[in-house]
Structure 1
Amino acid sequence: MAICVVVNADGTMTPSNASPDQCTGYLMVTPQEFNSFTSANSFFIPLTIEQGALIGAAILTVWATAFGFRVVSRMLSTATGDSE
């Protein structure tokens, strides 16, 4: 269970009876609580292989479309670089 700790003016720490929601100092947590906060599962949604492949294909499709528009715009450009 997390414990609220308040730093005094002289630099010492004193445990407080405040709940974690109302703590104005620092929360001291156990290693198990820390690991549950920092695990990758809490930050990322686990994807299946099919879902990952679908996202990758969507990114490649957007890139290929942008590349195609770039090529077409360069072909239609009237500026050739000649000084005539």
Structure 2
Amino acid sequence: MAQCVILNADGTLSPTGQAVSECTGYVLVSGSEYGLIQAVNTAFSAPSPAQAQGWFIGAWGAVMVFYIASRCVGAVISMFK
């Protein structure tokens, strides 16, 4: 559970008792909460240019592979007519 804390002059942390949404200091979170925050940030971040290019080329390549395969299958089927 997240907790609002402040940093003391001697380097220790002290809880403030404030709500996390109104915290004026630092928010201390557990490891599982931090992992969830990281997962959400990763899921909704914009892809890098290399990733976007890879998805575009992969989708275009799949369409081309299926098109060429269907042309070949169509040529074989037309021989039996």
For the aligned pair, the TM-score class normalised by the smaller chain equals 0.3 to 0.5
Report the structure, 1 or 2, having the larger helix content. Answer: 2
- Structure-2-length-normalised TM-score: 0.48
- Structure-1-length-normalised TM-score: 0.46
